[in-house]
Structure 1
């Protein structure tokens, strides 16, 4: 299902569920014809069947709610890690200003590149994702090598300790965010949910046929509501596609601030033009 778009998954679920309802209707009609010559069904038996269908869809609703809670928790984790990573990178960037040149400029430039690499664009291909991961790993190694070179002569100072701690924290949070981005609702749970949806649809058609009514509109609406809920779960479980996206705004604002700071530094450090002879005489 990960290879299919959410719209394709929704259409498949609707088609499969409605087909399951029709299969249940066919089974129910066959069962009704077999007992047509027998005694009429008692009201007590009809009530039992009503309890059965209510219990089936009640349990299906519970499974949908349970799975929705899991996917929403993972969505909140991904959103939280983005904010934490932006804060951690900002802390390192500010502390790098206390270092001597040329380490200050090198580290701050690498941190700007690292922050850009941590943006997660929407609707990118698997090849682009792998390329981004390799780029991030390369910058991470460069950051650590540059940190070690800058700090080693004064490694026993408080500044060295604070800077290394902040750098470690930023890189660790990046790793945890990457792991959170790969955390999905277990496949077994999603599979059980889909199988149970089909079983419930079959039972719905079966019991409606035995009651002598199909109620197409009501049953279709019920199926659509459950499919919409399951599709919402799958949407939350896919961070880079669908209607629900994890906002990249904390990182985007950090990158904008870094770029403005870099532009300010370039203007400050730009060499002034030597005065001409006429200006000197004036």
Structure 2
């Protein structure tokens, strides 16, 4: 991921550059199509079949890549849901711990949820790494408390809490993994190459008829770019219009704030 440059570029920059590049190749194809028509005197009858084959291949690539991006998007949504449920269960099972450590563990878990929410709303990579470090510190502090209690009180309650805490930590690692798992950039480059070839061939076919059919031709170009932008947007969990969302974590945070046992103790 560190060596992938397209992934870190703004989508609108990619869209504008693609529009310019595809327009240039369309016009270049049109000019060459007209020149070939003038030189031969007759149009190439098989250009339509060639264009159809290239556009069909491009459509298959779009469908394949969209499926990849959508499946990764769904995996990120599921990862947040699973992690939220695990944190919520861990929070509930704090009640099984001795009274001496309950307040601190409750406080740490509430702080942990805050870190997870900030993580979802951060796009800066350095800030994200700092938040991950802070989250892991909280995990370690809770684990030390729980493991120390398990050594002192080797009972069923301690085992239940340890199991849930372990699941919560594992799911946080899983969430990091699915967030970094995106469509290989080489596939995006291949789709861009196919779009360029398709646009050039389309321009050549229009040149053979000396008619750009600008409305239909450029509508197809714009549609190509829009589909590609949707795929890129789906594949970017940290930016863009289509976001996974953190509603489940927000609901958990509100529930913790509303029903926190710490409030009852203070009251």
Distance 2:9 2:171 in 1: 30
Q: Distance in 1 between matches of 2:182 and 2:96?
A: 41
Alignment-derived partner of residue 205 in structure 1: 203
Is it true that 1:28 corresponds to 2:33 in the alignment? Answer: yes
| Aligned mate of 1:231, from 229, 238, 248 | 229
**Aligned partners of 2:139 and 2:169 also within 8 Å:** yes
How far off its partner does 1:267 sit? 4.5
Per mean C-alpha deviation after superposition, the further-off stretch among 21-30 and 249-258 is: 21-30
**Which structure has the larger Rg?**
1
Partner Cα separation in structure 1 for residue 47 and residue 182 of structure 2 = 37
Structure 1 residue runs without a partner (length 5+): 271-282
Summarize deviations over 1:26-59 as a string: whole Å, max 9, x none: 22222223223xxx34xxx52x221111111111
Deviation at 1:101, TM superposition (A): 2.1
Q: Give the match's secondary structure for 2:212.
A: coil
Runs of 4+ in 1 over 4 A off after TM superposition: none
- Partner Cα distance (1:228, 1:265) in 2: 50
Partner residue of 1:113?
Answer: 111
**Residue equivalent to 1:127:** 126
CA RMSD after TM alignment: 1.5
Contact 1:115–1:255 (Cα < 8 Å) also in 2: yes
8 Å contact kept, 2:96–2:158: no
Report the Cα offset of residue 160 of structure 1: 1.7
Q: 2:22 aligns with which of 7, 11, 17?
A: 17
**Contact 1:78/1:180 (CA < 8 Å) preserved in 2?**
yes
TM-superposition CA deviations, 1:143-170 (whole Å, max 9, x none): 2112112221123x21122111111111
Quote the residue 1:58 is aligned against: 56
What is the TM-score when the length of structure 1 is the normalising length? 0.88
Q: Name the counterpart of 1:5.
A: 10
Residue 175 of structure 1 is matched in structure 2 by 173
Q: Name the structure 2 match of 1:269.
A: 266
Give the whole-Å Cα distance in 2 for the aligned partners of 1:257 and 1:170. Answer: 18
Gaps of 5+ in 2: 1-5
Partner of 2:3: none
Structure 1 equivalent of residue 186 of structure 2? 188
Contact 2:183 2:235 (8 Å CA) reproduced: yes
1:268 to partner: Cα distance: 3.5
Q: Is the 8 A contact 1:75 1:237 kept in 2?
A: yes
Residues matched between the structures, number = 261
1:153 equivalenced with 2:158 (yes/no) = no
